[in-house]
Structure 1
Amino acid sequence: MSDHENRLDYRRLKQQVYRYSLRVAEDAWEAEDLTQEVLLKVHRAWATDRSRAVTNAYLYRIVCNTWRDKARTDRRRPRTAGVNAPARSGEDGGLIARELLESLAHRLSPRSMVIVLLMDVFDFTAKETAEFLSSSEGAVQVALGRARLRLRTLARQTGPDRLSPPEAPAGSGEDRIDLDTLVEAFRRRDPKGICGAYLGLASRRVKLSQVRWIQGKFAFGFEDPDGNRFMVTG
């Protein structure tokens, strides 16, 4: 029996659940309450079945379902951000978990994945995304809608708790973290290169936390597996 099956890493679990809770609730107090409720549910489920894989996608699904239940019983809540408000980028409940996007990325075209990454993960506007891809705002909005619909459909068909994170490319070496490839792909505006480099970093648990386009240059925020954060410009 693996370490995962014997115990849960509650420190990591709480951090991840709180991050998702804050994203859907958009309020620190609400997020704290939601985190405690979700952790209790996860512990009960895991205690019942210790072979259950407590993946990030599984955690996100529990957070969303719990928030939805709370919203239904609290009619005073003005909105249910992150669950029922798909009009704004970054608030589509079926897409906002980057783990789902990373797991299903191979089912999207590189161009579609880049549009979702820029708008739903990194909060680019349609205008900024269109400029980046040398396209029109209308075309970008249409592509985003289609990609969101496809990802929602795939997530329902696959089942969130059966999704797995991307694997490192064969023969590349688990210790190799190649930031230059991602930076160069952004410079070239190369969707295929961006997708490959992004997923390669994700497979090594290097999180690309933000991308900013400032005066013709890109600024990238990264977080390594140990929680160290750093910036790269290019």
Structure 2
Amino acid sequence: MNPPQELPRSIQSSWYVFMKSFSELRPDLYRYCRHLTRSPWDAEDLAQDALARAFVTLGQMMGEAPPNPRAWLFRVASNLWIDRVRRERRERPLEGDVSSASSAIDPRGAREAAGTLLGQLSPQERAAVVLKDVFDLTLEETAETLSTTVGAVKTALHRARGKLVERAAEEVSAPAPAVLDAFCAAFNAGDIDGLAKLLLDTVSVEVVGATTQYGPEAAKRTVLFGMLFGVERLADGDPTTGMDARFIQGILAIPPRVEARAYRGGWVLLHWYTHRDGEAVRALTRIDVDDDRVAHLQNYFFTPDMIAEICSELGLPSRSNGYSWCVPKA
């Protein structure tokens, strides 16, 4: 049975209202997830998953909004993260160190292992430290957020504070994959067909938090086209982009350029946009490679907190696009 045609429109409208209502909490949510995961990429993934779970949960709360929305979002993110860590630990091989085990779970694990303390802290310990010491929640609020007791929080804090020793970030030891150079060359030439040829037939191409397309043709029609030529709509102030006008002031209708930069043991593509007062990074892209072709592409455009953090680490100027990616149809 096919769903009613008005269902997708209704869901999109509800999601838009939800995101608009919780937009002020997005920076804190990202920052909380960042402290938990110790990785900007994993933090954005966790924040997106937490928002999706919160959206579904809110629809099941019989019209009752949470009394403390920030603490509620933190609880949703905490539960997701604790479950994820427990699951990954169960799946780890019995032998081998933390970094090799992480790599077996996630191909990106080796790049992020140097920035995580999961090997030293239990999930509850890390969450307790972040909530109490970073966000200054009381012991009672921390216990409520973690669905535990004040005594358990005190114990977790005592244990955790003796373990918190950060490790240095990894340096990139290998050159950028050739497909990244080819991607940058095709992108900067405006060659959308050339970009599509770099994609595997089974590729997934994602604008994080907005849409995912499968296969080269679908990606070419939507995501790749938007990455290359969407700046024209921004410069025209097209209201259907969903972006607040303050985010696109001064942007020029000049196609963006991309360049590959080493970052945290891996590679990231920076999307430089031209403004009346100069260039700035407005988006990032990560690419997973399989046999010299693109197997998975993630474009980060509506993720201002992560973009700002990474550009700050790299010493680069950045601009925000906000969080909103659509305006629901009437």
TM-score, length-normalised on structure 2?
0.26
Higher helix share: 1
- Relative contact order, higher structure (CA 8 A, sep 6+): 2
TM-score, length-normalised on structure 1?
0.35
Higher strand share: 2
Higher CA-based Rg: 2
